[in-house]
Amino acid sequence: MNDLSSTPVPPSDSLPRARKPDWIRVKAPTSKGYGETRQLMRDLKLNTVCEEAACPNIGECWTKKHATVMILGDTCTRACAFCNVKTGMPGRVDADEPAHVAEAAAKLGLEHIVITSVDRDDLPDGGASQFVKVIQQLRANTPQTTIEILTPDFRGKMRRAVEAIVAARPDVYNHNLETVPRLYPTIRPGARYYASLRLLEEVKRHDPSIFTKSGVMLGLGEQRLEVHQVMDDMRCADIDFLTMGQYLRPTPKHTEVMEFVTPQAFAAYGAIARAKGFLQVASSPLTRSSYHAGKDFAEMRAAREAQLAKAAAAGAR
């Protein structure tokens, strides 16, 4: 890895510690579709990362009746410096939650659903069995819906957790690295960079047909070469899909934004990632793990099919 010990220098095409630029501003959600999605989540007693993490895309996504369901409660056992989800001792796991998730998918008419969770270090399996139950309930009730999961790292329980979830066969297994290794002690102190990479490697080892996905936030003080190295690490782990978005400070208690990376810089990162061989790349200031996830999944699946067809044609010569 390159020498990254020097003080981070913001890219020349970024704005260091500036007020929020125009390209990151979004309209307040007011549509009828937004209200209907919000009410459905309330009626089914479901949490969403859209609300809990204060996602800037909530107005657009909920207007289209797209929501990322957050299972295992609304309280996390970790305290990451970037995350707006509340921290503390979680309550009991809701036995009705898998059925409610499937009901929400059916009522929203979802072709693709994203399921994430808080960290549950208090549970013997880290909450893996709840992911399995949700996947099974969705397969039984809305078999046409493709399933993307975004899991925690299952610290100390990773191998068995991954094995159980992979056996349930989600279409996409997502786990975010979030930032570069140098920043983990301050940004993601409860996690380990290489443990997260190993988790995604384990998914591929158990079932190479499952798409793997990971994401990073920019604007935390990372350097370009560090970001490029993360891309290389992901490709070594055979990760299919990379997302890159701007970090936004949820509250004054959270880590500050070191820079607002321009759309042009995001486009450049995206071009580099594609050159490194990712099947799918989403890179823009407002990109989030589940933003346009259904469309991106369809494109990624088509890209793999094209690759396989090309390889078969070459082998037939």
Q: Which residues are CB-contacts of 305 (< 8 A; sequence separation ≥ 6)? A: none
Distance CA 130, CA 128 (A): 5
236 annotated as belonging to a binding site for a ligand: no
290 annotated as belonging to a binding site for a ligand: yes
Please name which of 97, 6, 7 lies closest in space to residue 44, comparing C-alpha atoms. Answer: 97
Q: What phi and psi values does residue 253 have, to the nearest 5 degrees? A: -75, -20
pLDDT of residue 291: 73
User: Whole domain around residue 287: which residue ranges?
Assistant: 26-316
**Any idea which residue has 């009626």 for tokens?**
43
168 occurs within a structural domain: yes
> Digits of tens for pLDDT over the chain (317 positions)?
333 333 344 444 444 445 788 877 666 556 666 677 777 777 777 777 656 555 665 656 655 556 788 999 999 999 999 888 889 999 999 999 999 999 988 988 888 899 999 999 999 999 999 999 999 999 999 999 999 999 999 999 999 999 999 999 999 999 999 999 999 999 999 999 999 999 999 999 999 999 999 999 999 999 999 999 999 999 999 999 999 999 999 889 999 999 999 999 999 999 999 999 999 999 999 898 877 778 888 899 999 999 889 888 888 77
pLDDT of residue 23: 79
DSSP 154-188: -TT-HHHHHHHHHHT--SEEE---BS-GGGHHHHS
pTM, to two decimals: 0.86
- CB neighbours of residue 75 within 10 Å: 18
5 occurs within a structural domain: no
246 occurs within a structural domain: yes
Distance CA 237, CA 260 (A): 29
Which residues lie across from 69 on neighbouring strands? 48, 115
265 occurs within a structural domain: yes
Domain count, the chain: 1
Are 146 and 297 in contact by the 8 Å Cβ rule? The answer is yes
165 occurs within a structural domain: yes
Half-sphere exposure of 148 (CA within 13 A, CB side): 29
**Any idea which residue has 């009746």 for tokens?**
65
10 occurs within a structural domain: no
220 occurs within a structural domain: yes
Q: What is the CATH number of the domain that holds 140?
A: 3.20.20.70
Distance CA 69, CA 67 (A): 6
18 occurs within a structural domain: no
- Percentage of residues in the chain with pLDDT exceeding 90? 64
E strand segments, 54-166: 68-71, 75-76, 86-87, 112-117, 146-150
pLDDT of residue 8: 43
